[in-house]
Amino acid sequence: MGALSKEPGSLADQGDDGDDVFGVGAEQHLTATGDAVPGERQAVPEGLVAELRGRLAELEAALSSAALARDSAVGEAERLARQCADAEAAMHRMEAEMAAENAKLKEELCRMQQSHEEERQAAEAAMHRMEAEMRSQQKTQVAGPPRRAAASSKNPFASMGALSKEPGSLADQGDDGDDVFGVGAEQHLTATGDAVSGERQAVPEGLVAELRGRLAELEAALSSAALARDSAVGEAERLARQCADAEAA
């Protein structure tokens, strides 16, 4: 039958060029290797390629999202690093300020203590001087009456000293603490039993009260300065703990 004529109308000429002699028109396709495969099997690789392309697009989208997330995380890490650096710099500045403030408070406290000590010593010296002055005055007053008596003996009116002390007489007028002229200088006894004038006794008492008030003010100022220093030290320690917690986080 291979020798049949290919003339028009012959049996071998019936059908298309791609049909066999029995008219079974199975279309042939060449693969990449040149082999012929039927047309029905070509649709399977195309569907698989489409599926793979869709999967590849999903993976590319996921990769892009992951890259964006990574960039965002890197940016957040850099921001946190800058914040930590700023916090550390602020902590160092605060520590320096607290150290300077602490040194200033210590210097002020030392100065106040020195001033307090100087004033206390001055007060003690003033009290010692007043005590010495009072003792000197007491000795002068104790030695005073004989001198006045000796002076009255030279007075041409010394005979008046012999006036009677009877009731109603000139020498009897006035209190026991008055002289013959009625000059009633009030007398007080000191701790040693010596007599001093009342006007002179009020001066040291007022000065001592003033000095004691000044000492109380200085002690209160020293206590306030110590409390301020302790508060500043506590605040510095609290800030140091906060910075350490921030660095650990």
Q: How far apart are CA 223 and CA 139, in angstroms?
A: 44
pLDDT of 3 higher than 50 = no
Give me the mean pLDDT over the 166-193 stretch: 46
Q: Strand pairing partners for 29?
A: 37
Give the least confident one: 9-23, 94-108, 128-142: 9-23
Say whether pTM exceeds 0.75.
no
pLDDT in the model for residue 18: 45
Considering the chain, what is the average pLDDT of its residues? 69
153-168 pLDDT, tens digit each? 455 444 444 444 444 4
The Cα–Cα gap between 62 and 138 comes to 110
Over its C-alpha atoms, the chain yields an Rg (Å, rounded) of 62
Domain residue extents for the chain: 53-138+200-249
Q: What is the pLDDT of residues 32-68, one digit of tens each?
A: 555 555 555 555 588 888 889 999 999 999 999 999 9
d(CA 225, CA 104): 11
Token output for 195: 């007599």
> Two tokens at 99?
């150290």
Q: Identify the pLDDT of residue 230.
A: 79
